[in-house]
Structure 1
């Protein structure tokens, strides 16, 4: 990610990252997916522009196996690319019937009478790869939407603001405009601002009716850590609360175990603007403004979506479609002036 102005550190813009073809990677220490394998929640490297949409699929003619087994929770998609729509998520260890294979290594498979494409990286003829302790599965929709159970859109911002003044201008505007944002600063960001300005960004945001969640201490890929190491990272210098967002949106069973041990629930996103990639205010506003009812929109505090004017434009675009933004917190009774948000988020945000 690019160096942030006014700060001596570099924030990985891929937290900006996008959902991988496999939501759960196959084991600790596995290399992150490449940019060509990335999707709405996996790691992708910053680029000047969006990659081109894949052309027609070339189907391999070699003899195909009749069945393959998923080595991780795997997305079944409408096309042989992570830029295509997800049909359903196939659980790890499931045998699927093979219909065809693309030259890119993707397989056309059938699962529960649904046919689509799945990444061959997480399909094999053998038994599924073990990747940590077995945990209860969490429905993807619950993980992505988090505690937003309303029809309103939640704008969320990861990482770290460029300056203290830019941060203050956004939270002041949001509070006065009755907009409730969700901020996910990293621990090293919080430490940096406390050391330089004596300001607690999390506490400042909460004082303006904004919600704050954990985004790890140092923005490391938690999949590379054990459950114990991951929990230690989550309990480090980062935000202390009950919801968190894994860096890059990268999740495997060790990551789920770490969040469970840290007593946090995972909240990713349903709508990614890729603001870190395009670095365009106009494009970011247009993408965020195209969100659907109940969406959790991913953006970042160091890019163009994190300004009062960008948020104003996003709200106006959504309003034109009859969709509202999550409202600022007004206390447990929902009445009166904007109030300080609690450290622990309720199971359902009062949007």
Structure 2
């Protein structure tokens, strides 16, 4: 497995709201405190937030809040008002922030190390080096009953799924049902990988902030899937810091968009090829015993088989509890 390299800069992307806290309260005080002295403004092209900082529609606290930028977000500088407020761009969003909580930089928002342009396609199939198709499901199931129904079917039919629940999902099921769904899935021979704590786009975050999202209440494993499949150098750095390999997909059913069982099943069947990783989500129609049954049958007609549940590294004997850390080559 190719080792992830540490990145030195983050690619700005659509901001995701961060919950207000002590740092955000300090920002509110800072917004009213007036402009800060900033070095070499003419040469600076980006800024890095030093606290959770509110992005507003205008240059002052009286303007509407667009979003809250987490500490460590890199923004593109557009222009500056005399009162010390910067007009900035973060991904597709433009707004105003106080300079009191910005560290100016001459580094561009793009990642100079070019991880994506290197064409590291190992991410697509992850550790599935077999000719079998892996069905993967992200996010969170609607109910424990629906989750258990899928686990029961997969176990009875020797199917190995890859589940990527968020930390927020795991916490909610623990609170509501007293059940750790990650441990429950592993006990049935299913693979479970990390999908961050709260499903934020990791690209606007610093390497350290991104790693914190991966190391929080989410799944502890050696593989993870970035929310939205969004990747840049900062995200690569976050996964490397967290000690995780990245596993995305090479077949997208777009079940979240079509919200149609028949179309989701058809796409999983017809878009897959030997060794594919198919993306679906636990809250949509592909995540049901009948959908998986149809996908298995349809792939079979095309001469393709699904990954099998874990039965030990030699893939013999009865189904057993899947390990927390995935092997470099899944025994599919």
| 1:151 matched to 2:128 | no
| Contact 1:135 1:256 (8 Å CA) reproduced | no
| 1:320 matched to 2:310 | no
The CA deviation string for residues 158-207 of structure 1, in whole angstroms up to 9 with x for no partner, is 00000000000001110110000000000000000001111000000000
Structure-2 residue corresponding to 1:203:
183
1:31 to partner: Cα distance: 3.3
Structure-1 residue corresponding to 2:241:
261
The CA deviation string for residues 60-98 of structure 1, in whole angstroms up to 9 with x for no partner, is xxxxxxxxxxxxxxxxxxxxxxxxxxxxxxxxxxxxxxx
Q: Distance in 1 between matches of 2:151 and 2:112?
A: 40
TM-score normalised over the length of structure 1: 0.64
- Per the alignment, do residues 136 and 302 of structure 1 end up closer, same or farther by CA in structure 2, a change over 3 Å counting? closer
Q: Distance in 1 between matches of 2:112 and 2:171?
A: 32
TM-score normalised over the length of structure 2: 0.67
1:131 to partner: Cα distance: 3.9
Structure-2 residue corresponding to 1:297:
278
1:139 to partner: Cα distance: 4.2
Structure-1 residue corresponding to 2:80:
none
Q: Distance in 2 between matches of 1:132 and 1:240?
A: 27
| Contact 2:207 2:235 (8 Å CA) reproduced | yes
Structure-2 residue corresponding to 1:226:
206
| 1:311 matched to 2:282 | no
Q: Distance in 1 between matches of 2:218 and 2:128?
A: 22
Q: Distance in 2 between matches of 1:223 and 1:307?
A: 32
| Contact 1:133 1:254 (8 Å CA) reproduced | no
1:136 to partner: Cα distance: 6.6
- Per the alignment, do residues 133 and 228 of structure 1 end up closer, same or farther by CA in structure 2, a change over 3 Å counting? farther
| Contact 2:124 2:247 (8 Å CA) reproduced | yes
Q: Distance in 2 between matches of 1:193 and 1:133?
A: 41
Structure-2 residue corresponding to 1:29:
12
Structure-2 residue corresponding to 1:124:
none
Q: Of 252, 255, 263, which aligns to 1:275?
A: 255
| Contact 1:133 1:257 (8 Å CA) reproduced | no
| Contact 1:28 1:226 (8 Å CA) reproduced | no
The CA deviation string for residues 95-154 of structure 1, in whole angstroms up to 9 with x for no partner, is xxxxxxxxxxxxxxxxxxxxxxxxxx9xxxxxx945458487764320111000011100
Structure-2 residue corresponding to 1:246:
226
- Per the alignment, do residues 232 and 27 of structure 1 end up closer, same or farther by CA in structure 2, a change over 3 Å counting? closer
Secondary structure in 2 matching 1:224: coil
- Per the alignment, do residues 279 and 130 of structure 1 end up closer, same or farther by CA in structure 2, a change over 3 Å counting? closer
1:331 to partner: Cα distance: 1.2
1:224 to partner: Cα distance: 1.1
1:155 to partner: Cα distance: 0.1
| Contact 1:178 1:327 (8 Å CA) reproduced | yes
1:335 to partner: Cα distance: 1.3
| 1:329 matched to 2:310 | yes
1:333 to partner: Cα distance: 2.7
Q: Of 172, 177, 180, which aligns to 2:157?
A: 177
Secondary structure in 2 matching 1:314: helix
- Per the alignment, do residues 132 and 232 of structure 1 end up closer, same or farther by CA in structure 2, a change over 3 Å counting? farther
Structure-1 residue corresponding to 2:148:
168
Aligned residue runs from structure 1 range 52-131, under 5 A: 129=108, 131=110
Q: Distance in 2 between matches of 1:165 and 1:151?
A: 32
| Contact 1:135 1:257 (8 Å CA) reproduced | no
The CA deviation string for residues 301-334 of structure 1, in whole angstroms up to 9 with x for no partner, is 0000000000000000000000000001101232
RMSD: 2.2
Q: Distance in 2 between matches of 1:244 and 1:135?
A: 20
Query: How many correspondences in the alignment?
Result: 234
| Contact 2:140 2:165 (8 Å CA) reproduced | yes
